[in-house]
Amino acid sequence: EFTRKLYTRLAAIFIPLENPRETLLGIADRFMDGLASLRSPADMLMVLVTSIAIWLTETGKYWFVMHAFDFEVSFFVLMLMTAVVNLATTLPSSPGYIGTFHEPGIEILKAFGVPENIAGAYTVVLHAALWLPITLLGIFYMFRQGVRWRDFRQATQAVTDSAESIPAEVVAGRP
């Protein structure tokens, strides 16, 4: 309750207009509700341990792929690269994160002495090694469940049709 009062007061000071302030307070409330599940020390520890395991596993894949190329950097450099490229892929980009994955990865490797052409080739192969298996697995299970590409088109059309039937006032947020 203290936290909500604090960010409500700060919002009142820094955001004088009511509509944007209420919108941001709603976002803050939902964010804080999401954090409520982490109040237990045991839950926090589980999240921490799981996160470390996931990041180390992904960095391990970077390390294995590195051994197919004529360069070597430390595991810690690869951990840095993992963090940077994962953060970069949160930026809006093309499908498959083409560009937002590659450019930061290449720059990290160059900063640690890897020639640009080798860094570029490594990053492309690494990206394929990360993206392709999970994508193929997803397609396999999609077909195994009986889902077909046309089902996506039909679902998209249904959403489009239902969105067109919503009054403009509701879409704009006015009753």
Task: Tell me which residues of the chain have a pLDDT lower than 70.
Answer: 166-175
Residues 27 and 100 in one domain: no
Residues 12 and 90 in one domain: no
Specify the number of domains making up the chain.
Answer: 2
- Biggest CA-to-CA distance, the chain: 63
Residues 81 and 142 in one domain: yes
Alpha-carbon distance 62 to 57, whole Å?
A: 9
**What are the pLDDT digits (tens) for 48-69?**
999 999 999 999 999 999 999 9
Q: Say what the pTM is.
A: 0.70
Q: What residues make up the domain containing 33? A: 2-38
Residues 83 and 126 in one domain: yes
Tokens of 160: 């489009």
State residue 173's pLDDT score. Answer: 57
State residue 93's pLDDT score. Answer: 86
